[in-house]
Amino acid sequence: MAKAPETVSVNDQRFLAGQAAFEEITGLRSSEFLDGLKDLAPAIGRFVMEWEFADVYGQSSLDLRTRELIMVAGCVALGATAAPILKLRIGSALRAGVSRQEIIDTIIQIGIAAGVPAALAAIQSAGEVFAVLDA
């Protein structure tokens, strides 16, 4: 009996589309992100690729700059617990054409709702991202 050709499932298509979007948006290799989760929670890496990057990013009416500013704002509101993801999103926002000043102004604006400590922690994170880029 002949072996059926391998097909790519819908979920695999979503995963691959998410990986491509992740790499385009963040400038990072998706395999590095996924490898960081493989021993603890590999499923969340797949969820991030499929849901966040393939579904949400792939079907939004918002332009990439706006989406990245929203992600920066959301991470700022979460405070210091979101610092590693905030740094990733600041880099993604810069790649999407958001200026450094727009990032700082977004952080300050969110500080009104999230509080000064959250804003100060986010400004420190932004400074760290900017310093790496300037090095």
What range does the domain containing 75 cover?
A: 63-135
Give pTM, 2 decimals.
0.82
Asked if the structure places residue 3 within a domain, the reply is: no
Give the phi and the psi of residue 63 in degrees, each rounded to 5.
Answer: -75, 165
In a domain, 95, yes or no: yes
Phi–psi pair at 89, nearest 5 degrees:
-70, -30
CATH no. for residue 109? 1.20.1290.10
- Tens digits of per-residue pLDDT, 72-115? 999 999 988 899 999 999 999 999 999 999 999 999 999 999 99
Q: Is residue 125 part of a domain?
A: yes
The answer on 132 and 68 residing in a single domain is: yes
Whether 27 and 87 map to the same domain: the answer is: no
Per residue in 8-19, is it b (16+ CB within 10 Å) or e — as a string?
eeeeeebbebbb
Confidence of residue 11 (pLDDT cuts 50, 70, 90): low
List, for residues 38-82, the tens digit of each pLDDT value: 999 989 999 999 998 898 887 889 999 999 999 999 999 998 889
Mean of per-residue pLDDT scores for the chain: 89
My answer on whether 132 and 83 are in the same domain is yes
Which of 24, 43, 59 is the last residue in one of the domains? 59
